[in-house]
Chain A
Amino acid sequence: MRRYIVGRLLLMIPTLIGVAILTFVIMRAVPGDIVALRYAGSSVPQSVIDQERHILGLDKPMWAQFVDWMTSISRLDLGQSLWTGHSVIDEVQVRVPLSIELAVLATLFAVALAIPLGVVAAVRQDTWIDYAIRVFSIGGLAMPSFWIGIMMVLVTLTLWGWAPPVVFTPLFDDPIANLAGLILPAIAVGYRYSAVSMRMTRSTVLEVLREDYVRTARAKGLRESLVVVRHALRNALLPVVTVVSLEFAFLIGGLVVTEQVFNLNGIGKLLVDAVAHRDYPLIQALVLLLAAVFVIVNFVVDMIYVVLDPRIRYA
């Protein structure tokens, strides 16, 4: 078991290196130059552009740039944004709290919606309640989340004249303002993710409800609700936890469009802007960050599996 854990931890490294190389190569293969972009529409002589590119280190051969970047990473120096000149870490850390909070809120909303609905749908399988819940949940998968977001803002504006605050307030400064700004996007994103979790909950509960030990509990004369909650749900939760955690990992990367619509100053928007600017160090750092989150969450989920289900042991 220990060997498995160590093995998994070690395996994260080649994955992350793979991501790093792929990002590096892709972004440099794509046409577009940050210096030319900066001076679009003005008569900057080519010599000046070349000079600036030299200062930024963009005229070195690709492998040299890659080596430079890897060595600076090993010193935990993520470099400077080519666009603003500030350190990449500065740029990222301002925006991380918002994205994390949004992801957490969305997941909480999704889980609060998915688990009760999934259980009810399973218990009342093939009744109209089941159908209604399934249709409702598929709605979350079917409607584009940015469209839901836009519609929500439109509704709150026209009905109550209220719009979420455009400026983000950190949670501990003013919790109300903070939540007011994030509640609508959290719902828009969370609705979507509740769909996947709801279906998972429903199918695992259905499965578990057919198990022998549930039949035994029923035969013992236990109330149905107790049967469901105490016996079925606990065992059904494992795959649900898996799905929820995996979706969380995807969430962070998938916040891009939502942040655009609600004008949230988060990592998704930063990534879009960085790619548009061809701001290589920033892009590379962000993609690595997102990949690292993903890989780590995956690992944690697998470990949770082990803890929750003693039958599972990895060779």
Chain B
Amino acid sequence: MTPAEPRAVSGRATSAEEIAKRRYLESTGRRRFMHFWADFIRRRPLGTAGAVLIIVMLLAAAFANVVAPYDPTAINFPDLLKPPSPEHLLGADNFGRDVFSRVIFGSRTALLVGFSASLIGCTLGLVLGVASAYLGGRTDQIIQRLMDVLLSFPLIVIAIAVVAALGTGEDKIANVIAAITVPIVPRVARVVRSSALSIVQMPYIEATRSVGSGAIRIMFRHIVPNVLAPYLIMLTAFLGQAILLEASLSFLGLGVFEPTASWGLMLRGAGMQFLEQAPWLAIAPGVAISMAVFGFNLFGDSLRDALDPRLRTG
């Protein structure tokens, strides 16, 4: 959001928009930051709504112990399949466990998987994309081929392979995160590469190189900051997708397992089996997933609009 160097703008630098933008760049960093967000909240209600959803989710995950009325794994047969009531806000599942508590704790799994997979995947993709664009030539081609190979691999095969290959790790979640990270990397690398390519061709990069700066220095100090915008946008977008992928994998039986509280797992298990008898078992986690992904997507969407000068209105 705060580019380290002035962005090389195109020849048409005289419109009012561009002038206003230069003024932005001239003010101090912190004020810029605050202005940006104030503007964001004011002008982008959808994105703000998304941000609110995300914050709610983060708080629920952080304070799950406090917010959730019951232990999510506490079996309580007398409450088997009870519909929503004051004791069980979202009903109880086929073990008498409180659905509301499981949804709250499920946000932990979702956020853990989402953040980890997205962060690792996007960062790896960023590195590969920038390296590919800058180094060019043979390296570029090889990395491209590798990315193509990964892209064309069906997720199911990756998931089973990762889950089986990582063996009996203490924490099954690591397997799921690893499996989800794999499809993210090539997608990010592709986008970052095409962004970086346009920057690599700029004269000032050539100038820096001729001065004698090392490749890594150039890549990190000059190129990476300028592709941060698409990177951040994809980070939020893939966060949502990662949560969805976890749900799909759990649905196929390749994700986390009982009795862990996870939205995808809740959908697969009780959600599917008791669809008519106890629809709240499917609706609650489905809505939770939707709200989470919604939030991240709305926010990321509006963030992209905010960061892209060409799309500003008025």
State yes or no: do A and B touch (Cβ within 8 Å). Answer: yes
Interface residues, chain A, with chain B CB atoms under 8 Å away: 11, 14-15, 18-19, 22-23, 26-27, 29-32, 125-126, 131, 134-135, 138-139, 141-144, 146-147, 150-151, 154, 199, 203, 206-207, 210, 249, 253-254, 256-257, 260, 268, 271-272, 275, 283, 286-287, 290-291, 294-295, 298
- Can you list 22 A-B pairs with a CB-CB distance of less than 8 A? A15-B149, A30-B160, A139-B290, A141-B241, A141-B297, A142-B240, A142-B291, A143-B293, A144-B248, A144-B267, A144-B290, A146-B248, A147-B286, A151-B282, A154-B275, A199-B301, A207-B310, A254-B154, A271-B157, A272-B156, A283-B157, A287-B153
Over the window 100-114 of chain B, the binary record of Cβ atoms lying under 8 Å from chain A Cβ atoms (1 yes, 0 no) is 000000000000000
Please tell me if the beta carbons of B247 and A144 are within 8 angstroms of each other in the complex. yes
Let me know if B120 is at the binding interface, CB within 8 A: no
> Which B residues lie within 8 Å of A253 (CB)?
152-155
Partner of A11, one of B145, B251, B276: B145
Q: 7 more A-B contacts (CB under 8 A) besides A141-B293, A206-B311, A253-B154?
A: A135-B46, A138-B297, A142-B297, A146-B248, A256-B154, A272-B156, A290-B152
Question: A11-B145, A30-B165 known; A134 and B46 CB under 8 Å?
Answer: yes
> Which A residues lie within 8 Å of B157 (CB)?
23, 26-27, 271, 275, 283, 287
Q: Which residue of chain A has its CB nearest to the CB of B298?
A: A138
> Which B residues lie within 8 Å of A30 (CB)?
160-161, 164-165
A103 to B279, alpha carbons, bound, how many Å?
30
Question: A18-B149, A139-B290, A144-B244 known; A271 and B165 CB under 8 Å?
Answer: no
Highest count of chain A CB atoms <10 Å: which of B157, B275, B292:
B157
Please tell me if the beta carbons of B289 and A150 are within 8 angstroms of each other in the complex. no
Please tell me if the beta carbons of B267 and A134 are within 8 angstroms of each other in the complex. no
Partner of B152, one of A135, A256, A294: A294
Counting chain B residues whose Cβ lies within 8 A of the other chain, the interface size class is 35 or more
> Which B residues lie within 8 Å of A294 (CB)?
148, 151-152
Let me know if B45 is at the binding interface, CB within 8 A: yes
The 3 tightest CB contacts between A and B, nearest first, are A291-B152, A142-B293, A294-B152
A34 to B206, alpha carbons, bound, how many Å?
57
Interface residues, chain B, with chain A CB atoms under 8 Å away: 45-46, 141, 145-146, 148-149, 151-157, 160-161, 164-165, 240-241, 244, 247-248, 251-252, 264, 267, 272, 275-276, 279, 282, 286, 289-294, 297-298, 301, 310-311, 313
Measured CB to CB, the closest approach of chain A to B216, in angstroms, equals: 27
A31 to B264, alpha carbons, bound, how many Å?
25
Please tell me if the beta carbons of A15 and B301 are within 8 angstroms of each other in the complex. no
> Which A residues lie within 8 Å of B251 (CB)?
144, 146, 257, 260
Measured CB to CB, the closest approach of chain A to B304, in angstroms, equals: 8
Q: Which residue of chain A has its CB nearest to the CB of B146?
A: A18
Please tell me if the beta carbons of B145 and A14 are within 8 angstroms of each other in the complex. yes
> Which B residues lie within 8 Å of A298 (CB)?
148
Please tell me if the beta carbons of A150 and B282 are within 8 angstroms of each other in the complex. yes
A139 to B267, alpha carbons, bound, how many Å?
18
Please tell me if the beta carbons of A150 and B153 are within 8 angstroms of each other in the complex. no
Please tell me if the beta carbons of B164 and A32 are within 8 angstroms of each other in the complex. yes
A262 to B244, alpha carbons, bound, how many Å?
19
A254 to B145, alpha carbons, bound, how many Å?
21
Please tell me if the beta carbons of B275 and A150 are within 8 angstroms of each other in the complex. yes
> Which B residues lie within 8 Å of A286 (CB)?
154
Please tell me if the beta carbons of A18 and B145 are within 8 angstroms of each other in the complex. yes
Q: Which residue of chain A has its CB nearest to the CB of B244?
A: A144
Please tell me if the beta carbons of B311 and A15 are within 8 angstroms of each other in the complex. no
> Which B residues lie within 8 Å of A18 (CB)?
145-146, 148-149
Partner of A19, one of B45, B153, B264: B153
> Which B residues lie within 8 Å of A249 (CB)?
152
Highest count of chain B CB atoms <10 Å: which of A147, A151, A256:
A147
Q: Which residue of chain A has its CB nearest to the CB of B154?
A: A253
